Structure 1
Amino acid sequence: MTQNSPPLVLPPGLTRAMATLQDKDRQRLDDTVTRLHTVNGRLWDTENRVRSALLSAAQVADCKREIDQLNAERNALAERADEVLGSLADAGRADVPLHTETLASVVDRMSVLTLRIWHSERAAGRDELARRRVPALHGQREELCAALDALVSDVVAGRRRLPVPARFKLYGREDVAPAEIKPSRHLRQVLAFGGLSECGKSTSAQFVQRTCGAQRLKIGFLLRQAAHREGLADPYALSARRQAELLLGELNRFADAHVDTKLFTIESVHDDASIAELKQLMGDTLQIVYLDASFAVRVERSGTPAQAVAAKDEIKMSRGAHQVAALADHVIDNTGSIAALRARLRRIASPPSTTALRVATPYGLGLPAAVASATADFTDTVRAYGSGVRLVALTGSPGEGTWIAGWSDLDLMVIAEHEVIGEIHEALEQYRTALGNAASLGPTLVTPGELTARRLTPRLAFVLHQLQQGSPVLHAASDLALPTISRDELAFAAVRELPQVMLTMRRLRTAEGATALRQLYKHLVLACRLLLREHNQWESGPDRILAAASRMPGLTALTVPPLAEVANAWRDGDTELVLKPVTASVDQLLTWYALQLAA
């Protein structure tokens, strides 16, 4: 609507009647009437603009299209208002007199009259005819207010009936019914980056694209695509609402064409009005991220003179770029470290969620009594530290029910705030002492912030996935929020982890025979597990993993003894019989792997 134009003031009788509506209906009606008045203001401005003799034919065509679009929206809003206003009517008798127009039609006329009075008053200083019309226009408004209040009174009392509110307007092709555009079901999440010059919008979008697999798009590109599709010469001349509809239409097309893409980013948000309209259309599907940084910081980062940055800022601020902060879902102070920025972006792009974890006691994990008792004591000790300790779990073989005394490690994961890590170190020393020679302890200590920022090793990502799939934990805070790890992420993590595992396996292969058996066997199983993930196969348990890996294309079956036999040989010090087939299988896998990559 034209800047500083007056709001629409409804007459007292209608206002009192609206106060009787339920809160939800009253709020819906207030919003609809406000938008109707705004659309009428934009219509007035566009109809004024199209009369300019300075416009090109293409600009006139754009204005005509905008007028049609606004008229369609105006009629849709009037119908929406009548849906609520119609509930004020008393059912009454069917033979009471029928009024010629609906309540929303009168409200629409009042909106236009309010704008006419305001524009006439502005022109009165330079136009004598306009000055003379002002008193008459005020008189028309008083009469219209009185007539509307009288109609409301009659409708509520059942003395008047209202006509059917549907307007059945046709705009564009007659075979297409006008409908409000909605996000496609394939458009799951969109991050819109805003901020002034050199604030980090592009850097942030690039990071989300690289780490989260987002489809990165520019708002200008989307509008140009939409303009080409709709035959518009200048989409920026359209109303904020129409620009938002064009943007959403293009986003829907991209999402429908890339159904596997779960995240999109759009940049740069420089127009507060159009992004506000887009937010209204998309709701929480759209998350507006505003990156804030001082002018001095932005100048330093740009490597250009301060005047150049200030000039860019002036252009962006003229479009409302600085006002996007008030609309943003997330405002990031981007004057700190890159680590802080990336952690915040990961939480926004992949928000953590509260997960119902399965809690068990150490005595239900198939552990020897002494190991279970020491583990229970450790869990009780760290649980007493309070909310700083978020989770305790034995991962790997204890969680899978394949732990073997004298062979398996106790892989322990503790999620705790950094402030209590020192106390956990003391508890771990007591735990090791209590275990003695019964088991070797391998602890992993991680902070909640590291997890929600997704600073995860492939191994840690797999552990989190296993916990979310039902592997037991020994202790978990009720409000613990963890990142959701999908199988696709694990398959990608396997690609990153496998090279290191293969390098380590080659190094172990050169070690002295019997002493390397345990680590060689475990790395063989781990390598096979990772290769299976790349083939979208998800086996657990060493024997099943090795059997499944033997069926991979081009790999001759691995002849490795069962885990129980290997573990017994290791414990008994009689490794000769099992070392040879394990080593042969390692060589076989390494040869196959080299050939696959050479191909």
Structure 2
Amino acid sequence: MTTHVPPLVLPLGLMLAAAALPPKDQQRLDDTLTRLHATNSRLWLAEDRVRGGLSESQVADCKREIDQLNAERNNLAERVDEVLAALAGPPLLDAVLHTETLSSALDRLSVLTLRIWRSEEAAASDPAVAQRIPLLHEQRAALSDALDSLAADVAAGTRLLPTPARFKLYGGNAQTHETVTPSRHLQRVIAFGGLSESGKSTGADYVRQLAGAQRFKIGYLLRQAAHHHGLADPYRLSPRRQAELLLEELNRFAEAHVEARLFTIESVHDNESIAELKALLGDRLQVVYLSAPFDVRVARSGTPPHAVAAKDAVKIQRGADKVEAMADHVIDNSGSVVDLRARLRRIAETSQLTPPLQVAAVPALGLPTSVAEATATFAKAMRSAGSPVRLAALTGSPSTGPWVAGWSDIDLFVISDHQGSELVSVALKTYQAALDGLATVGLTLVTPDELTARRLTPRLAFVLHQIQDGQPVLHAAPGLELPVITRHDLVLAGAQDLPQVILTMRRLRAGATAADLRPLYRHLVLAVRLLLREQGIWASGPDEILAAAAQLPGLPPLAVPTLASVVDEWLVRGTDGALQAVNAAVDHLLAWYAVQVSAA
């Protein structure tokens, strides 16, 4: 006896036609047909059971299961037709309407495949059944030929397919007796709507990568709800009841995963049910509607225009186009991916208040007189620039410790609108000229919109965290809001930055001379600081950071001279004791790191 259900094999002509679909649609078709065939197999078994010797209560349970399977069968068939709509060619004027959709014929092919399988099993003990098997094979061959012919005619535009929606009435419009309210753990939900190829999946996946959102399809949530409530077809319920079921499932997941802070739901094609969900969730739910011109969506799909139009027609029939009118955010997604991501970042970011910024008087920074005078002139220029320049800060060595002539350098951080970049450039040149070689000056210039969109390098994230942690700035415009950088953000940024730091440190070590002592030491300190953060250890200052390296599991203490000793050798360059010690520490760290990443 065969123990495994035979697969559903598509007719050759239809299989070749489907191979021309985009990979995403091919995968969707394969998955949906596999589920449809499995559902038919389960339905066959359930109908066999109900005809057996069951009690009344068991028959009732089995009938409910059959209703649910039939509902799933019809939903899957509709999805098959949605995908296969892309096969249709432009209809000819004399095209005739076919009596059934492609999925209806495929559903019959699935059932026939199961009937042949069951008949062959029974043939061993029933000669009458054995006589039917050749006829069943003939029926399957005829149906396969008819499917190939139908697919070819549809592609040629000589035959039209009926509307795929089946409007089955499985299940009741069950109502709840108490209002469903959001769980306290369900904090934020973003729902994505739009027509075919508008970017819903792309947007939701970016928010998942960006903010660790839990990503759901509405269909999945409703199927889970149907399973929990014993419902046959949740799509036949009222919009309010569907919204309650969606909220119940979101609540259930949020309460089981209390660490989750953001959820996304996709395929918002029913404007009425999402409006009801908005009424239940209030501001916790943000509806995002992605729009794009038809020709743009066609180009993205890789399919003919009529195929995208067919998919749109199915979605519009459900109310997908009406979601735009009630959306919290309507995004024109006909532009660049950078633009889309910037807009989604603004929506996905949790609103947090920026701590009050501390504006410092330059004399309080402990800089040498000439450096302080040049810095004060630069700060005045930034304040005088007006609205374009929002913030100016001094980072680098002066922000982490006392000024050391010949060792310390200056990093300037400026937030300015793009039109203010020339003013900043002029002020920078004046600053460099006033210093006259006393220190190396570097500038990080960023626009407010880049910060809002979180287009941040690891270094920039660290600077922002320092400022929000109380490091004084030279100038801050009134009402300036900065993105809040948490320690968790810094750990993630550090994990991105660490590979480059290791590569640079390894390069410096390979040919280290006295001239490399300063950059090699600094990269050693930076690498250890990033590794410590991943362990949850937050140390500041070079000496403290290198001493804390002993807390990294398996790494022996690094015998590195104090910063003062390293600076002395760097300035004198008459000995190489500090360089040898730094080289040895770098060797120990790189050997330890190689073991860690080997995962041995």
Please give the TM-score of this superposition, normalised by the length of structure 2: 0.70
Kindly indicate whether residue 295 of structure 2 is the aligned counterpart of residue 296 of structure 1. Answer: yes
In structure 2, distance between residues paired with 1:573 and 1:324: 70
* Partner of residue 553, structure 1: 553
1:90-489 to 2 correspondence within 5 Å?
Answer: 178=178, 180-350=179-349, 353-355=352-354, 356-489=356-489
Letter in 2 for 1:476: A
Q: Call closer, same or farther: CA 1:226–1:543 in 2, change over 3 Å.
A: same
Deviations 1:306-358 (A, max 9, x none): 11111111111122111111111111001111111111111111156552212
In structure 2, distance between residues paired with 1:181 and 1:397: 56
Letter in 2 for 1:542: P
In structure 1, distance between residues paired with 2:281 and 2:439: 55
Deviations 1:388-407 (A, max 9, x none): 11111112432333442321
Structure 1 gaps, min length 5: 1-55, 73-177
Q: Call closer, same or farther: CA 1:352–1:340 in 2, change over 3 Å.
A: farther
Letter in 1 for 2:478: S
* Partner of residue 78, structure 2: none
Which moves more between the two structures, 336-345 or 351-360?
Answer: 351-360
Give the conservation status (yes or no) of the 8 Å contact 2:216–2:264: yes
* Partner of residue 585, structure 2: 585
Give the conservation status (yes or no) of the 8 Å contact 1:543–1:562: yes
Letter in 1 for 2:409: D
* Partner of residue 120, structure 2: none
Q: 1:60 Cα deviation (Å)?
A: 7.8
Letter in 1 for 2:276: E
| Paired residue secondary structure (2:216) | strand
Give the conservation status (yes or no) of the 8 Å contact 2:240–2:277: yes
Please give the TM-score of this superposition, normalised by the length of structure 1: 0.70
* Partner of residue 44, structure 1: none
Give the conservation status (yes or no) of the 8 Å contact 1:402–1:541: no
| Paired residue secondary structure (2:387) | helix
How many matched pairs?
A: 434
Q: 1:547 Cα deviation (Å)?
A: 0.7
Q: 1:512 Cα deviation (Å)?
A: 4.3
* Partner of residue 23, structure 1: none
Give the conservation status (yes or no) of the 8 Å contact 2:183–2:254: yes
Letter in 2 for 1:247: L
Q: Call closer, same or farther: CA 1:251–1:321 in 2, change over 3 Å.
A: same
Kindly indicate whether residue 62 of structure 2 is the aligned counterpart of residue 62 of structure 1. Answer: no
Give the conservation status (yes or no) of the 8 Å contact 1:227–1:233: yes
Which moves more between the two structures, 331-340 or 438-447?
Answer: 438-447
In structure 2, distance between residues paired with 1:379 and 1:57: 74
Letter in 2 for 1:260: E
Deviations 1:12-70 (A, max 9, x none): xxxxxxxxxxxxxxxxxxxxxxxxxxxxxxxxxxxxxxxxxxxx97788832x52x43x
Q: Call closer, same or farther: CA 1:61–1:341 in 2, change over 3 Å.
A: closer
Q: Percent identity?
A: 61
| Paired residue secondary structure (1:357) | coil
Give the conservation status (yes or no) of the 8 Å contact 1:196–1:321: yes
In structure 2, distance between residues paired with 1:277 and 1:434: 65
Q: Call closer, same or farther: CA 1:544–1:512 in 2, change over 3 Å.
A: closer
Q: Call closer, same or farther: CA 1:397–1:571 in 2, change over 3 Å.
A: same
Kindly indicate whether residue 508 of structure 2 is the aligned counterpart of residue 508 of structure 1. Answer: yes
| Paired residue secondary structure (2:335) | coil
Q: Call closer, same or farther: CA 1:235–1:374 in 2, change over 3 Å.
A: same
In structure 2, distance between residues paired with 1:342 and 1:371: 41
In structure 2, distance between residues paired with 1:413 and 1:443: 6
Give the conservation status (yes or no) of the 8 Å contact 1:354–1:479: no
Give the conservation status (yes or no) of the 8 Å contact 1:392–1:413: yes
Q: 1:569 Cα deviation (Å)?
A: 2.2
Q: Call closer, same or farther: CA 1:588–1:57 in 2, change over 3 Å.
A: closer
1:512-527 to 2 correspondence within 5 Å?
Answer: 512-527=512-527
Give the conservation status (yes or no) of the 8 Å contact 1:353–1:481: no
Give the conservation status (yes or no) of the 8 Å contact 2:525–2:542: yes
In structure 1, distance between residues paired with 2:231 and 2:368: 75
| Paired residue secondary structure (2:551) | coil
Give the conservation status (yes or no) of the 8 Å contact 2:192–2:266: yes
Letter in 1 for 2:255: D
Deviations 1:208-228 (A, max 9, x none): 112221111101100110111
Q: 1:362 Cα deviation (Å)?
A: 2.2
* Partner of residue 150, structure 2: none
In structure 2, distance between residues paired with 1:276 and 1:575: 75
Give the conservation status (yes or no) of the 8 Å contact 1:365–1:401: no
Q: 1:258 Cα deviation (Å)?
A: 1.9
Which moves more between the two structures, 287-296 or 252-261?
Answer: 252-261
Structure 2 gaps, min length 5: 1-65, 69-167
Q: 1:542 Cα deviation (Å)?
A: 0.6
In structure 1, distance between residues paired with 2:408 and 2:446: 22
Q: Call closer, same or farther: CA 1:438–1:264 in 2, change over 3 Å.
A: same
Letter in 1 for 2:493: A
In structure 1, distance between residues paired with 2:314 and 2:420: 50
Which moves more between the two structures, 507-516 or 286-295?
Answer: 507-516
Q: 1:551 Cα deviation (Å)?
A: 2.3
In structure 1, distance between residues paired with 2:561 and 2:353: 42
